[in-house]
Amino acid sequence: MIVCHCTQISDHDIHAAIDWMRASDPQTIITPGKIYHALGKRADCGSCMPLFLDTMRHCDSLGVAPPILRAASGSMEGHPNEGRRKSHRISQRRTAV
């Protein structure tokens, strides 16, 4: 299955790159950027990233997932401010026009 149409990266390419990196250095932290680099390619538009990360999650040899690959805990689910600081919140008050 093609994961990245811009650079023609398939799920098999991603799994092969992860296996190769894991064999080279079992302690390395594998990121999407490192996979692109190992394949000799660069990310273009980024629209593939959700599928790219999902493909990485399902690779058996990935090992411990870095924070970007971990499933969301849902602890902020339903929270009206989505965990943003007060300075980044939109005011709830409406001004009279």
pLDDT, one tens digit per residue, over 10-23 is 999 999 999 999 88
Q: Of the given ranges (32-41, 54-63, 66-75), which has the lowest mean pLDDT?
A: 66-75
pLDDT, one tens digit per residue, over 39-48 is 999 888 888 8
pLDDT of residue 57: 85
Q: What is the pTM of this model?
A: 0.63
Q: Which residues pair with 2 in a beta bridge?
A: 10
- Residue 52 CB neighbours (<10 A): 20
